[in-house]
Structure 1
């Protein structure tokens, strides 16, 4: 999945092997939507803490499992090696058996499923249906004969399922319904989750092109893909302005603008770079933009209710 570099990447040791396998820099994409959906619900009901924690842990488990499936299938397709950038490296660098990674991913899915049963029993069994579809999407993102991640729909899929869907579920299990407000508020965070995948594909453009993938970054070309990344960041902040001007959203949502320097850092970090290792800071800044933006948006919503 990732282009080979000339500088060997050191192997992890002990617990770090398993921690890096989860790709921790991506886990905030699962944490932020749950926090945001729950913050929205505070206006209408008292928060059910166990449901919140169950949803949070289930989302993190599904995201970590999805990353493990990515690790497994990219290895099986011969796309990863010990010098690949942006991977956990448990298989190619640390000698963990590929089947062990696959079993661990399914174990995480099983644990998430158990939590899903508890969530559904205390809200609606329709949640189980949506949760199953989300888990299947996580598997087929890099699994199956035609992985979603290898197509132009990776950004859209990740944004919808990790953004809109998780936010709506988190809101629904607390309130018992979905509102136009929860849908509108979910859009900018969903866009930013999509930027994480876009940033990943910009970094891996050359290697992905050689392996026959058709990601947006490849279809657009590096320069246009960076411009598209910048436009998505811009749209997210414009959406906040529209929410405040057109709806009764609190002006405290302007707190999200504190994350703008991080977004600028992400875009500038890709310009003029071609080696994957050089673009890692930009990739990290993209994920951090989503984290900071989503966290501040949740705070802004909560303060607005006081």
Structure 2
């Protein structure tokens, strides 16, 4: 349902609201764990190989969080410019359409976050390798073109794949590399379930927004395969992630302590079931949040399992 206000006009009654919650919500905090978790896992894997440099870990963590937040702001800006968001849209920061923040301010803030992450990246490169600058630039570009540019990745069936690849696989490998100076087989295979679960967050988002996205000409994976199949795929992604961990343990790639990830199964089940029979975006918000929480719990438990396995 569209807002009764004219298209692209902020809500007048909230125009001058500038509380800190407006800016905090603009970062879409429930998605930030998609940056925190891979950095933690990559560093935990590195801890098995060498002494971890805390400053490099913190630098990588802050840079990743800034890039993720900037990506969310680009999303907010470009969805607004394309007329996808209204004051009644769910799952958005709402800084522009509900709080009256100037669109250019949101865009400027996003680029400011990117600039800070680049400065941090220089520090990381000085203490590891300048090849990180090349990979980091590609990651930043992917964050921008996710919703920016003439053909945004988010408007295609490849959004989940791109998010999983960059925020799962690549971030874990960078976090591992800056500590160890190398890439090995273990961080690659351990990153797979995390990449899948990061992709699951995007799939859940697209299931929730399916009707609205379809009306605006998007061609997301959820639209192409239909709501029912998309929910089945979401459940399958959870199953594959847990099964993958069993396989890694069976092959002695990781410690049996990583079975701790199975404590996140209830949240994964709740996320999948929460979409069944729902058609309105507001009804699917709990399932969307549960999907992000499943990723968070799985990732933290995996990092803890890796550390315990190393110490014992």
Task: Determine the C-alpha separation between the residues in 1 that align with 2:109 and 2:22.
Answer: 13
In structure 1, what is the equivalent of residue 206 of structure 2? 201
Which secondary structure does the structure 2 equivalent of 1:119 belong to?
Answer: helix
Question: Are residues 1:172 and 2:177 paired?
Answer: yes
In structure 2, what is the equivalent of residue 63 of structure 1? 68
In structure 1, what is the equivalent of residue 223 of structure 2? 218
Closer, same or farther: CA 5–75 of 1 in aligned 2, 3 Å? closer
Task: Determine the C-alpha separation between the residues in 2 that align with 1:193 and 1:41.
Answer: 21
Question: Are residues 1:33 and 2:38 paired?
Answer: yes
In structure 1, what is the equivalent of residue 23 of structure 2? 18
Question: Are residues 1:249 and 2:244 paired?
Answer: no
Q: Alignment partner for residue 151 of structure 1, among 156, 164, 167?
A: 156
Q: Give the Å deviation of 1:247.
A: 2.9
Q: For residues 224-303 of structure 1, what are the structure 2 equivalents within 5 Å? A: 224-303=229-308
8 Å CA contact 2:186–2:253 kept in 1: the answer is no
Q: For residues 65-84 of structure 1, what are the structure 2 equivalents within 5 Å? A: 65-84=70-89
- Specify every segment of 5 or more residues in structure 1 that has no aligned partner in the other structure, as ranges: none
Q: Give the Å deviation of 1:164.
A: 0.3
8 Å CA contact 1:5–1:275 kept in 2: the answer is no
Cα RMSD (Å) of the superposition? 1.4
Task: Determine the C-alpha separation between the residues in 1 that align with 2:3 and 2:99.
Answer: 18
Q: Alignment partner for residue 106 of structure 1, among 102, 108, 111?
A: 111
Task: Determine the C-alpha separation between the residues in 1 that align with 2:161 and 2:3.
Answer: 29
Task: Determine the C-alpha separation between the residues in 2 that align with 1:81 and 1:47.
Answer: 46
Which secondary structure does the structure 1 equivalent of 2:85 belong to?
Answer: coil
In structure 1, what is the equivalent of residue 100 of structure 2? 95
Task: Determine the C-alpha separation between the residues in 1 that align with 2:187 and 2:144.
Answer: 27
8 Å CA contact 1:4–1:85 kept in 2: the answer is no
Task: Determine the C-alpha separation between the residues in 1 that align with 2:83 and 2:195.
Answer: 31
Q: For residues 113-132 of structure 1, what are the structure 2 equivalents within 5 Å? A: 113-132=118-137
| Deviation digits for residues 148-188 of structure 1 (CA, Å, limit 9, x no counterpart) | 00000000000000000000000000000011001010000
Moved over 2 A (4+): 3-6, 9-13
Which secondary structure does the structure 1 equivalent of 2:128 belong to?
Answer: coil
Higher relative contact order (CA 8 A, sep 6+): 1
Task: Determine the C-alpha separation between the residues in 1 that align with 2:264 and 2:54.
Answer: 28
Task: Determine the C-alpha separation between the residues in 2 that align with 1:248 and 1:145.
Answer: 43
Aligned residues: 302
| Deviation digits for residues 34-69 of structure 1 (CA, Å, limit 9, x no counterpart) | 000000011111110110000000000000000000
| Deviation digits for residues 100-140 of structure 1 (CA, Å, limit 9, x no counterpart) | 00000000000000000000111000000000000000000
Task: Determine the C-alpha separation between the residues in 1 that align with 2:174 and 2:187.
Answer: 10
Which secondary structure does the structure 2 equivalent of 1:169 belong to?
Answer: helix
Q: Give the Å deviation of 1:246.
A: 1.4
Q: Give the Å deviation of 1:4.
A: 5.1
Structure-2-length-normalised TM-score: 0.95
8 Å CA contact 1:68–1:105 kept in 2: the answer is yes
- Specify every segment of 5 or more residues in structure 2 that has no aligned partner in the other structure, as ranges: 5-10
